[in-house]
Structure 1
C-alpha cells in the first residue's frame, strides 16, 4: 500500500506538470473568461501579471507544488474561489454519480452474464448481446442525448440536467430523479464490455474440475452457477473493474458535462477551456489518486474473495 501511495504521488507530480505545460502552450487565455476579447495588449499583460501568469513555467509549477504539498491548491483564476471549496462542492456529486453507476454496472454485468450463460444461444442471449452492442457502438454523449430526448422531451418524466431543482437540494427523491439519466448513460455505454468480460470469466470457471464434480453430484444448475461459478469467477471480474477505472472516470466527466451535472467533470472541462490551471492541476491529482485507490481497493476485495485466484 505504501508503494502504491508513493507511486501515486510520483505520477501526480509528473502528470500535473505535463497538464500545466499543455495548458500553458495551448491557445486561449483565462484573461478572456472575464474580459472582452478586444481588450488592449497592455491590459492583457497587466491581468496576466496580476495572476502571476507572466512568470516562467517552472517557477509557476513549483510555486503551485509547494502549496499543493500542504493541501492548499490555491484559488481559481476564473471565479477567485478557493479550489478546495470548489472541490468540496463538486466532489460529493461526482462521487454519488460514479459509485451509483459502478455498483449498478457491476451487479447488472454479473447477473446478465450468468443468465446469458445459463441460456446460451437462446433468443434471450442473442437479443441481450445485440442490444448491449448497439449501445456500445454509440459514444456516451450520444446515448445521453437520446435519453434526454426520450425521457425528458417526449415523455417529460425525468429532469434533463442539474443535480437537483432549486430549493430542493436536500430532497432525496429529487436527487434520485436527477441521477437516473446520467447513471443510465454511464451504465449503457459500458455494459457490453463488462458483460463480455464477466461471461468469459464464468466460462473459464465452468472448466474447473470442482465445477464438473458439482454437476456430477447432481446439484441444481442454478445453485452451481450462482454459488460455485460466481465465487470462482468474481475475483478476476473485480480486478478488471479496477483496471477500467480510468476510462470509466473520464466517461463520467463527459456525461456530467452533457447533463450540466454540477460535478468534477463539468468543473474540469470548464477549467480546461479557460486555462484555469490551479483547478486543472488539483483535479488531475485528485483523479490520479482516485484511480490508484480504486485499483487498490478492488485488488484487496479480489484477494479476500478468492486468495488463490488473486495471486495468480
Structure 2
C-alpha cells in the first residue's frame, strides 16, 4: 500500500511542476499588465515605462518564472498590485471561506445524494424512482449559474430567508456566537445551490450500482439461503454499492473548484473563486497565477485521494 502511495506521489510532483510552467506562461500571454487600463492618461508614458521596469514587467518570462519559483519555495507568492498586500496573506483570507464552502457543499451533497440514490435503486421503476430520476435529469440540464441566480432571487430577495452577499454581517466580533451564526447563514445558500446540482451525478451512480448489485450471483445466493430482505440490502447490496462512491470522493473535490468560481461570483461570497475573477478583470497576474496554481494542485491532490481510496476499496488496482 505504501509503495503505491509513494509511486503516485512521485508522479504527482512532475505534474505540479508542469502545471506551474503552463500557468505562468498563459498568464504572461494575457493582454496588458497590472499597470494597464487604470492609469491616469495624463501621466508621462516614460514614467509608466520606468515603473514597469522597476517591477520587472519587461523582463523575459523565463527570468520572471525563476524569480517567482524562488519566492514560491520560500513561501512568498509576491505582492498584489491591486489589493496592495502580500498574495500569501490575501489567499489565506479567501482560502478559509472557500474551504468552509467546500466542506458544507460536500456535506449537503452526500446528505441528499445517498438517501435519494438508495431509494431510487432499491425501488427502481416505481413512481418514487421516476421522480428522483427526473430530478437528476433536470439537474444535468440546468447550468449551475442559472440555478444559483434563481436560488438567490427566490430565497435571498423574494423570501429573504438568507443573506444575499458577503460572508459575515459587518461589525460583529470574531469568535462570538453572533459572528459564527452569521458566517453559517451566509454560507448556507451558496452551499445548497452548489450541492443540489453536484448531487445528481452521485444519485445516478449510486442508483446504477444498487440496481446492478441486486442482480449479482452472491445476492441471489444470500436470498436462497434464507437471508431476510433487510439483511440482504444492509449487509450486501448497500455496502458494496457505497464503496465506489467513497472512491470518487476526491473527484468531488475537483468538481467543486469550477463550481465555486460561478457561485462565489453570483453570491458575492469572498472566496478563492471570486478572488480569481476579480484578479483577471484587474489584470493582477501575481494573484491569478497563485490562485490557478492552487486550484490545479487541489485537482491533482483530489485525483490522488481518489486513487488511494479506490486502492483501499479494490486492492487489485494497486501498483505492484
Give TM-score scaled by structure 1 length: 0.89
Per the TM alignment, residue 191 of structure 1 is displaced from its structure 2 partner at its CA by 2.0
Per the TM alignment, residue 73 of structure 1 is displaced from its structure 2 partner at its CA by 1.2
Superposed, 1:23-42 pairs within 5 Å as 23-32=27-36, 34-36=38-40, 41-42=45-46
Per the TM alignment, residue 55 of structure 1 is displaced from its structure 2 partner at its CA by 0.8
Which residue number in structure 2 is paired with residue 147 of structure 1?
Answer: 151
| 1:35 alignment partner, SS class | coil
Q: Which moved more, 1:217-226 or 1:16-25?
A: 217-226
**Structure 1 pair 251–268 and aligned structure 2 pair: CA distance change class (3 A):** same
The structure 1 residue matched to 2:224, chosen from 213, 216, 227, is: 216
Q: Residues 245 and 294 of structure 1 are in contact (CA less than 8 Å); yes or no, is this contact kept in structure 2?
A: yes
Give TM-score scaled by structure 2 length: 0.87
Per the TM alignment, residue 135 of structure 1 is displaced from its structure 2 partner at its CA by 2.7
**Structure 1 pair 148–271 and aligned structure 2 pair: CA distance change class (3 A):** same
Q: Deviations over 1:52-93 (max 9, x none)?
A: 111111111111011112222111122231111112111111
Superposed, 1:255-266 pairs within 5 Å as 255-266=263-274
Pairs aligned (count): 311
Task: Tell me how far apart the structure 2 counterparts of residues 121 and 216 of structure 1 sit (CA, whole Å).
Answer: 24
Task: Tell me how far apart the structure 1 counterparts of residues 240 and 60 of structure 2 sit (CA, whole Å).
Answer: 55
1:58 aligns with 2:62: yes
Q: Residues 23 and 275 of structure 1 are in contact (CA less than 8 Å); yes or no, is this contact kept in structure 2?
A: no
Per the TM alignment, residue 145 of structure 1 is displaced from its structure 2 partner at its CA by 0.4
Q: Residues 246 and 291 of structure 1 are in contact (CA less than 8 Å); yes or no, is this contact kept in structure 2?
A: yes
Task: Tell me how far apart the structure 2 counterparts of residues 247 and 151 of structure 1 sit (CA, whole Å).
Answer: 25
**Structure 1 pair 310–218 and aligned structure 2 pair: CA distance change class (3 A):** farther
Which residue number in structure 2 is paired with residue 240 of structure 1?
Answer: 248
Per the TM alignment, residue 264 of structure 1 is displaced from its structure 2 partner at its CA by 1.0
Q: Which runs of 5+ in 1 are unaligned?
A: none
Q: Which runs of 5+ in 2 are unaligned?
A: none
Q: Residues 120 and 128 of structure 2 are in contact (CA less than 8 Å); yes or no, is this contact kept in structure 1?
A: yes
Which residue number in structure 2 is paired with residue 202 of structure 1?
Answer: 210
Q: Which moved more, 1:148-157 or 1:49-58?
A: 49-58
Task: Tell me how far apart the structure 2 counterparts of residues 213 and 252 of structure 1 sit (CA, whole Å).
Answer: 46
| 2:105 alignment partner, SS class | helix
Per the TM alignment, residue 307 of structure 1 is displaced from its structure 2 partner at its CA by 4.1
Q: Which moved more, 1:89-98 or 1:27-36?
A: 27-36
Which residue number in structure 2 is paired with residue 131 of structure 1?
Answer: 135
